Amino acid sequence: MSSFLILGGMLAASIASPLPAFAADAAQASVASELTTPKQRLDTLFAELKRERDQDKAREISNRIRVEWQDSGSATVNLLMQWASKAVETNRQATALDIFDQVITLSPRYIEGWNQRATLHYQMGNYRKSMSDINQVLAIEPRHFGALAGMAAILTSSGQDELALRAWEQFLDIYPADRKAQEQLGELEEKLAGDRT
């Protein structure tokens, strides 16, 4: 009974001295951000990206998605990713590959470990290994537009234009405002139409 009275008194005190409107909004936003999971934030961002037709605004949304992807939730993995990035920048590919291997072993559901290793394999001309890593990325996050673009590039370079076309279509279904993807799709459609005539 006494705890009820204490709670009632606290409630009355909070009603008697309300927060300024902006402070209340900030408090609500803070509570809302604490309640959202990374998956919920990504789902919201992907819904925004799919609706956005302005290229610049869509790029901002895609950058926010990339920020979400980059945070592994582990300080150790985040540090390893920084080391791997530095190794790539300084042209030490073997070291970077070793670090990416460690990241994937420590956190196999962390898509950027797979994605960054796929990118490095692609840069080194190891297309088969890159495609294998891309498939892992897409198994974890089918909306990973960067992995789909990488897949399309590999398929195009290996002459598999029909499959590359499908990859670009999937990309644009997720990220419709990307002009480069639109151009790539258009070029492939023209090429394939020319091949059929």
Mean of per-residue pLDDT scores for the chain: 86
Q: What token pair was written down for 166?
A: 């499908």
Q: What is the pTM of this model?
A: 0.80
- pLDDT of amino acid 123: 95
For the segment 62-78, what is each residue's pLDDT rounded down to a tens digit? 999 999 999 999 999 99
Of 34, 64, 25, the C-alpha closest to 47 is: 64
Q: What token pair was written down for 17?
A: 């001295």
Average pLDDT on 123-141 reads 97
- Give the domain ranges of the chain: 1-35, 38-196
Secondary structure string (H, E, C) spanning the chain: CHHHHHHHHHHHHHHHCCCCHHHHHHHHHHHHHHHCCHHHHHHHHHHHHHHCCCHHHHHHHHHHHHHHHHCCCCHHHHHHHHHHHHHHHCCCHHHHHHHHHHHHHHCCCCHHHHHHHHHHHHHCCCHHHHHHHHHHHHHHCCCCHHHHHHHHHHHHHCCCHHHHHHHHHHHHHHCCCCHHHHHHHHHHHHHHHHHHC
- pLDDT of amino acid 33: 53
For the segment 13-36, what is each residue's pLDDT rounded down to a tens digit? 333 334 344 444 444 444 445 558
CATH class of the domain at 38-196: mainly alpha
Q: How many CA atoms lie within 13 A of 166 on its CB side?
A: 4
Locate tokens 């492939």: which residue? 188
Contacts of 25 (CB under 8 A, 6+ apart): none
Contacts of 143 (CB under 8 A, 6+ apart): 42, 46, 174
